Amino acid sequence: MFDAEARISWVLACLAGVIGAAALLHTSGYFVTFMTGNSERAVVNWFDGQSHMAFAAILLIISFVAGVFIASWCRRQFWTQHPHGPVLLTTISLAAATTIDYFTATPEGAPDIDLLPILCVAFGTGALNTSFVKNGEVSIPITYYTGSLVKMGQGLERHLAGGGSPADWLGYFLIWMCFLLGGVIGGLMNMITDGLGLLLLATVVCMIVTGYSYLHLDRHGPMPTE
């Protein structure tokens, strides 16, 4: 529960919170970590006069799934010795989003992050969710907390009923709290910088995590089995 794998998952969950905050606070309200919300929007917004948001939601879902697909393919083809290789794709995606946002001028009064860089971010968050895989399936979801909260609730019930232990729910609670911490950091950063600053922060943090996972964790930590 507290090994190197868990610690890096906490960092990535916090990073996902920062990314989600940047998307929500500096766009028209796009989701990059909440595909359930995008799925709802992809249908409902056609009926409330916001067809542009429905179309954006569809593009975000496609980009997210593409990130999962490409990262999974790269894991199988190139990263057999680097199970956390998908973090590299996330770093590249965030760097691309930051670069595009820097060179893209937005009209005054408009959100300062356009859809194109956010699509890059969605691709990166999709890739990020494949960072922890065991037996061919994702073992630690980084941006999907509905399922994690369900498992946390079940584990807590087992523990209180005497049939389980803190390990049944504490791991889910800690990673969820790290995601919330990322949202708090993103909210605080929003008070002193713009969307570009938040994207740059996320890129730098992800780059550091990529270096750590490649140079240390993948060599000295446990190797997840496919």
**Mean pLDDT, residues 48-72:** 93
pLDDT at 104: 82
pLDDT at position 99: 93
Transcribe 108-134 into DSSP letters.
TTS-SS-HHHHHHHHHHHHHHTTSSEE
Q: Is 36 exposed, middle or buried (0-12, 13-18, 19+ CB in 10 A)?
A: exposed
Confidence class for position 225, pLDDT limits 50, 70, 90:
very low
Average pLDDT over residues 7-31: 87
What integer pLDDT is reported at residue 114 of this predicted model? Answer: 87
Secondary structure of 142-196 as H, E, C letters: CCCCHHHHHHHHHHHHHHHCCCCCHHHCHHHHHHHHHHHHHHHHHHHHHCCCCHH
How sure is the predictor about 197, in pLDDT bands with cuts at 50, 70 and 90?
confident
Predicted pLDDT at 110: 60
The CA-CA-CA angle for residues 43, 47, 52, to 5°, reads: 70
pLDDT digits (tens, 9 = 90+) for 104-160: 866 665 667 888 999 999 999 999 998 888 777 788 888 888 888 999 999 999 999
pLDDT band at 222 (very low <50, low <70, confident <90, very high): very low
Q: Which pLDDT score, from 0 to 100, does residue 108 have?
A: 64
